[in-house]
Amino acid sequence: MRRRDFLLSAVGGTLAAFGSFDDILPLNAAGRAEAGDAEIPYGAAVKTELLDVDVQYTDAIKRYCRMIVGEGGLKWADLRPQPETFDFTQADRQLEFADANGMTMRGHTLVWYAAMPDWALNLATPLAAELELVNHIETVLDRYRGRIPSWDVVNEPIADDPSGRDVIRPSVWSEQLGRGYIETSLRTAAEADPNAQLIINDFNFEKPTTQCRRRRAAMIDLLRELKDNGVPLHGLGLQGHLTGASEIDQDGLSRFVEDVNELELDVLVTELDVIDDKLPGNVHVRDQIVASRVKDYLDAITDVVQPKAILTWGISDRYTWVPMWFSRSDGLPNRPLPLDDKYQPKALFSVLQQYTSI
Ligand code: XIL
């Protein structure tokens, strides 16, 4: 039985229905909330070039995070500029920062369709693709074995709008190896680091749309198939790039998380933020809606399981990927993250205090 089944829903179309999320809990000297922290570890994606360079940014990461993940650094475009090159500079720096500050680091990501160097996009035979894939995973995990405990092994494997036989997202990997690239990647990762938590990471499961319903079904089918075949897999990462203008399909999301849980897989929230390009410009109104979307999202998940971690994709509105693809037509800056561009906690921060160690 889900906790929400006992509660009255407060969701509605007007701001009044969103309630207020303005009450930031008092912080102790270490900057942690005094009360209400349910102790799901909180973390954020970091930009390597800002660590120990932008002092305010670095302080915010140190103050609020128990985990970090690189926004880049481990992606093929960063790590593999040439076929023969592994450039570990960024990831080493991130790990050094995490270690120096008592944080853990998640690895993002070993296999993705995007952020690929041209040479890898041009792998032209199944044999060449498999050799590169296996060599890549082995080399990266050999280097970080025992030091990066959790990996997004496969990122975004489900097609945008899965239908019929086109359920897996097209990539050089699926073109050359079919859907078997997912199993190969997981088996290779488990052999290279038997203790690592191996995750499949994906987005867009939470809207009340047919597309999201199909995406959830396709993901569950994939996870079940992998488990049935004894493939080493430990959890599903829900990216959580929420669409501010859409309600959360709480029932659909809760049922999805139940299905994942029944497969004995962990759930993590790996890249949380709220895409606010279509929300009202008024900052107060916008921040309340952003906070309420995250509350609805985390309520639906935590009704069923405690996620092993909750990470936002960045920490301050000052540095966010959102305007790369979702800038606002009124020219106002996006506000997708828990701290504003001056590092002041926003309504979203107070929502995260209710669930996490932030
Ligand atoms: C984004 C980064 O934030 C950008 O800086 C980068 O240039 C492009 O990728 N889903 C993911 C992340 O899994 O890797 C993406 O990160 C955001 C969407």
Q: Quick: pLDDT tens for 119-150.
A: 999 999 999 999 999 999 999 999 999 999 99
Nearest to 268 by CA among 239, 307, 216: 307
Name residues whose C-beta falls within 8 Å of residue 96's C-beta, 6 or more positions apart in sequence.
none
Rounded to the nearest angstrom, the distance between the alpha carbon of 78 and the centre of ligand 1 is 12
- State which of 48, 324, 334 you would mutate to test the pocket of ligand 1, scoring each by most atoms of that ligand within 8 A of its C-beta: 324
Tell me the C-alpha to C-alpha distance, in Å, between residue 205 and each of 156, 200, 284.
12, 14, 27
Q: What is the pLDDT of residue 29?
A: 42
pLDDT digits over 237-261, tens only? Answer: 999 999 999 999 999 999 999 999 9
Q: Report the number of distinct structural domains present in the chain.
A: 1
Q: What is the CATH number of the domain that holds 270?
A: 3.20.20.80
CA dihedral sign, ordered 186, 192, 196, 202: negative
**Given this model, what pLDDT does residue 164 score?**
81
CA-CA distance, 201 to 70, in Å (whole number)?
15
Alpha carbon distance 157, 169 (integer Å): 5
Nearest 5°: the CA angle 45, 255, 151 is: 30
* Active-site residue, 183 included: no
Domain with 337 in it: 3-355
Rg, Å, the chain Cα set: 20
Question: Using one digit for the tens of pLDDT, what is the confidence trace for 306-346?
Answer: 999 999 999 999 999 999 999 999 999 999 999 999 999 99
Three-state secondary-structure class, residue 48:
helix
Decide: helix, strand or coil at residue 21: coil
Residue nearest to atom 4 of ligand 1 (CA): 321
Is 34 marked active-site?
no
What would the pLDDT profile of 151-187 be if each residue is shown by its tens digit? 999 999 999 999 888 999 999 999 999 999 999 999 9
d(CA 134, CA 76): 13
DSSP category for residue 204? -
270 alpha carbon to ligand 1 midpoint, in Å? 12
- The pLDDT tens digits for 9-52 are 333 344 555 557 766 655 544 444 444 445 899 999 999 999 99
Residue 257: both structure tokens together? 């998380």
Cβ 2 vs Cβ 301: under 8 Å? no
Q: Is 202 in the pocket of ligand 1 (CB under 6 A)?
A: no
State how far the Cα of 228 lies from the Cα of 298, in Å rounded to an integer.
Answer: 29
